[in-house]
A and B are shown apart, each in its own frame.
Chain A
Amino acid sequence: MRRGSIIGPVLLIVIGALFLANNLHPELPTLKVVADWWPFVLIAWGAVRIAEITFWWRSGRPLPQNGIAGGEWAFIVFLCIAGSSIFYGQKYRTRIPRIHVTGLEMLGDSYDYPLAPKSVDAGASPRIIIDNARGNARVTGVAGTQVSAKGHTTVRAYTQAEADKANQECPLEVTRQGDVVIVRTNHERLTGNPRVSSDIEIVVPPGSTVEARGKYGDFDITDIGGSVTVDSDNAGVRLNGIGGAVRVDARRGDIIRAINVKGNVEIRGSGADVELENIEGQSVVNGQYHGELVFRNLAKPFRFESQTTDLRVPRVVGKLEVSRGNVTGSDLAGPVYLKTRSKDVSLHGFSEGLDLQIDKGDVELRPGKLPLGRMDVRIRGGDVDVALPEGAKFELNAATDRGAVENGFAGSLREDRAGKGARLSGSVGGGPMISLHTDRGRVSVRKSADPAPQAKVEIQRQ
């Protein structure tokens, strides 16, 4: 920077502008912009520096010893640490209390106002649009044709007058236009910068279709005959008893739960936990979720996609759990497809075969049911343990490039050693191909009646 580089002042202006934007417009996603875009500052910095040095060289001026001096490297390290913390903090913030850079919102007092109840007659199957920027909304289907809403608003402000003004600016409204009913809390009308949040309870006819939008706050939606759409930046979403399709697009909620849904379920975005149970339609979960994902009783094909994982199961009869380090399933109707980077996989009682590709992780397979399906397992680092039920018929081709094999079918399968690895192959009664391969790890193929304690319990039950 000493040599008249423009980077120093430009960086100062950018940082100043970002803080100013955050202070004046806290609703703008300034922090998210910083979290997502800061690495480009490194690239721009490097590019501008190269351009400057090239220019100096061509115009015959003396060049600096180092393009980037020691002090600048120190600042870059600081920038990387700060940027990464914000990026990963944003990603995993839901469990951490929110911290505002300005800190101003924590000041002032909290004022509470009841929202005058409103209602309209809406017919048997209206379309309900709920627009509540901040605060929780509870929607319940109740027999009748009325849409009614009530609740209360909390304003955080420095003076009573300021709070009163804010409260008057955002009344609760329930309006009907044709068969569309709009329930809104009008937070966007606020002038100045007060913190307002409204908790509302809405009763709707059971045949309604619901579309809900918000920035912060939870949605609880129960007993709705039509479809439900939720779009929120930061919401917990709990749905129970939905007759139509469910679509949830939420960015930072702590939980998304849907139970007893007759239509298709589509969940996108990011967040922490996801729970689906008793879903009669197809289910798709797409995005980054850092908590526990639990799926029970999904009648139609299910798909989970994230940056590192692609999981497809035609039907989840029992339970399927996905977390940061594990995929655990029991009682799945296959064929199951799973491609992931680093997870331990344990599948019990699946049918119709399996296609598994993992970079790093141990795999434990107990198909449980006969006849067996085709299985194809490829791992780059990790152990494979397959326990097959009594009377299973299959052909096997199992290999490890580095490690040992364990053979539980000594009569029928042949073991070969090759270099540091080993191969186990052959046919037991003739049947679908089971192909197992790990670059590094142990491969064991055995009868489920043999060692493992869980398997013994199964035998006793039979």
Chain B
Amino acid sequence: MSTAREYLRAIRGPVLLISLGILVIADHVGQLPFWRSWPVLLVVLGVMILLERSAIRPEGGPLS
């Protein structure tokens, strides 16, 4: 059984990927150039790591 923490760690990559996609689209439509918006990725990564830490207590498993 995986913990919530492992789950958060597993989706860290995909969440970053989605953020990257959104930033690239913002860059392409000319709203926000990527060279300005890239720190958002660091923020997202930081938030994900914090969430993982906060879920440090083993929660047993899914839905329990």
Residues of the B chain whose Cβ atoms lie less than 8 Å from the Cβ of A114? none
Chain A residues contacting B16 (CB-CB under 8 Å) are: 46, 68
Residue in contact with B24 in the complex, picked from A46, A65, A73, A80, CB distance below 8 Å: A80
A172 to B2, CA, bound (A): 72
Residue of chain A at shortest CB distance from B31 = A307
Q: Is the CB of A67 within 8 A of B14?
A: yes
Q: Scoring A residues 49 to 68 as 1 if CB is less than 8 Å from chain B, else 0, what string do you get? A: 11001100111101111111
Interface size on A, residues (CB 8 A): 33
Q: In the complex, which range does the number of interface residues on chain B fall in?
A: 20 to 34
Contacts of B22 in A (CB 8 A): 39, 43
A54 vs B14: C-alpha distance when bound (angstroms): 12
Residue from A45, A62, A84, A308 within 8 A of B17 (CB atoms)? A45
Which of the residues A42, A53, A308 comes within 8 Å of B21, measured between beta carbons?
Answer: A42
What residues on B are CB-neighbors of A36 within 8 Å?
28
Q: A76 CA to B14 CA in the complex, in Å? A: 11
- Do residues B61 and A63 form an inter-chain contact, with CB atoms below 8 A? no
B10 interface residue (CB < 8 Å to A): yes
From known contacts A57-B2, A57-B7, A66-B10, infer whether A76 and B17 are also in contact, taking CB-CB under 8 Å.
yes
Contacting residues of chain B (19-55) with chain A, CB-CB under 8 angstroms: 20-22, 24-25, 28-30
Verify if A87 is at the interface (C-beta below 8 Å from B). Answer: yes
Q: Are A49 and B13 in contact (CB under 8 A)?
A: yes
Q: In the complex, are the beta carbons of A63 and B21 less than 8 A apart?
A: no
What chain B residues lie within 8 Å of A64 (beta carbons)? Answer: 10
A307 in contact with B7 given A47-B18, A57-B62, A66-B13 (CB within 8 Å)? no
- A60 touching B10 by the CB < 8 A rule? no
Question: In whole angstroms, what is the CA distance A460 to B18 when docked?
Answer: 63
Q: Within the assembled complex, what's the spacing in Å between the Cα atoms of A58 and B9?
A: 15
Is B62 a contact partner of A40 (Cβ separation < 8 A)? no
* Contact A68 B62, beta carbon cutoff 8 Å: no
Q: Do B9 and A65 touch across chains, with their CB atoms under 8 A apart?
A: yes
Known: A43-B22, A63-B6. A308 touches B30 (CB 8 A): yes
In the complex, chain A residues whose CB is within 8 Å of the CB of B15: 46, 50, 67
Q: Is the CB of A62 within 8 A of B10?
A: no
Most chain B CB inside 10 Å of its own CB: which residue of A40, A43, A64, A80? A43
CB distance from A146 to the nearest CB of B (A): 47
Which A residues lie within 8 Å of B24 (CB)? 39, 42, 80, 83-84
Q: Which residues of A contact B11 (CB under 8 A)?
A: 49-50, 53-54, 67
Report which residue of B1, B11, B16 has the largest number of chain A beta carbons within 10 angstroms of its beta carbon: B11
> What 15 new A-B contacts, CB under 8 Å, besides A39-B25, A63-B2?
A39-B28, A42-B24, A43-B21, A45-B14, A45-B21, A46-B21, A50-B14, A57-B62, A58-B63, A60-B62, A63-B6, A66-B10, A66-B12, A67-B14, A68-B13
Top 7 nearest A-B pairs by Cβ distance?
A: A68-B13, A42-B21, A307-B30, A46-B18, A43-B21, A46-B17, A67-B13
13 examples of A-B residue contacts, CB within 8 angstroms: A43-B21, A43-B22, A45-B21, A46-B15, A57-B10, A57-B62, A58-B63, A63-B10, A67-B11, A67-B14, A68-B14, A73-B13, A80-B20
Tell me the B residues contacting A by CB distance below 8 Å. 1-2, 6-7, 9-18, 20-22, 24-25, 28-30, 61-63
